[in-house]
Amino acid sequence: MDWIISDELGLTVGHLVGWGAAGAMIVGGIAPYIPQYRQIKKTQDAEGFSLYVCLTLLIANTLRILFWFGKRYEIPLLIQSIVMNITMFIMIHLCVNVRKKNQIIRSRERIFTAQPDETARWLGQQSGVTGGEKPRRFYDMDRKYFWAWTDFQSYVDCMLVFSVLGAAITYLLIEVAPFVEFIGFLALFTEAMLGAPQIAKNFQTKSTEGMSVSMVIMWTCGDIFKTVYFVIREAPTQFWVCGSLQVSLDVVILLQVWWYRHNTAAARRLRRGD
């Protein structure tokens, strides 16, 4: 039986532990990105961090918010999703600014839905169109440059479109139980695949230079904690199954850190000019 901490408030050790765990769920989700943010800010190099990590989490947490309307789960998990989305936009904002500063040759702006006047002006400059000639208007929806845009607003616009469409479909099918369950599974499976873009980037470069190892270690610890939390709190099955998959991918990234350690050290020396 729990010790009574205060007869007036009726607080118990169980309550305090529960609140602490809930707070850890909210704050613990964003904590791994603090060392990665600081590293990018310090080195002014964002190439080692995959923006697809941000895309994965934005989609996953947006779907998880929609899932809440169909099947209510604990409020701390809902708050965690909102806070995580804000954090991902902060990471994207930093990476976009850093990459802009590091551009040696100014290339054409890549944006989600190109503003006709801006794109026309660029095309006019390239084709030599001047005076009264009106260059053709162009909308940059090339899949090759999806999620590789050069302005922060494009990422916000993309997620706004996704959120509005998702909300509309969820509103229409909110009474269909299989659909709601599918949304929950899709949200958590997407989050579980969080490490996949980073694994692919590391494999492509054969190095983990630019990626914060502290971030990955904190990912692993956080994912183990939340998976245990899901089991103890009897969260929907989708939560703990996908949590287990996420831990597995974290372990793969840590193995890459060890496997590519020599390449990473060489890349670090090259960047420092040693």
Query: Could you please report the per-residue DSSP string of 242-261?
Result: HHHHHHHHHHHHHHHHHHTH
What proportion of the chain, given as a percentage, has pLDDT over 90?
A: 30
If 0-12 CB within 10 Å is exposed, 13-18 middle and 19+ buried, where does residue 191 land? buried
Least confident of 102-106, 137-141, 225-229, 267-271: 137-141
Q: Residue 152 above 70 pLDDT?
A: yes
Q: Which two tokens stand for residue 157?
A: 């616009």
Average pLDDT, the chain: 80
User: What backbone torsions phi and psi does residue 106 show, to the nearest 5 degrees?
Assistant: -70, 120
Whose CA is closest to 141, among 167, 172, 112, 182? 112
What is the average pLDDT across 267-274? 72
Does residue 257 have a pLDDT over 60?
yes
141 has pLDDT over 90: no
Q: Write out pLDDT tens, residues 27-38.
A: 777 888 898 899
Which residues does residue 6 pair with via DSSP β-bridges, in sequence order?
A: 11
Per-residue model confidence (pLDDT) at position 274: 57
Q: What interhelical angle do 152-173 and 177-192 show, nearest 10? A: 150
Q: How far is CA 123 from CA 108, 118, 130, 178, 210, in A?
A: 9, 9, 11, 49, 35
- pTM here? 0.73
Cα 110 to Cα 233: distance, rounded to the nearest angstrom: 45
Two tokens at 141? Answer: 């929806």
Say how far apart CA 67 and CA 54 lie, in whole Å: 20
- Structure confidence by residue, pLDDT tens digits, 52-93: 889 999 999 999 999 999 988 888 888 989 999 999 999 999
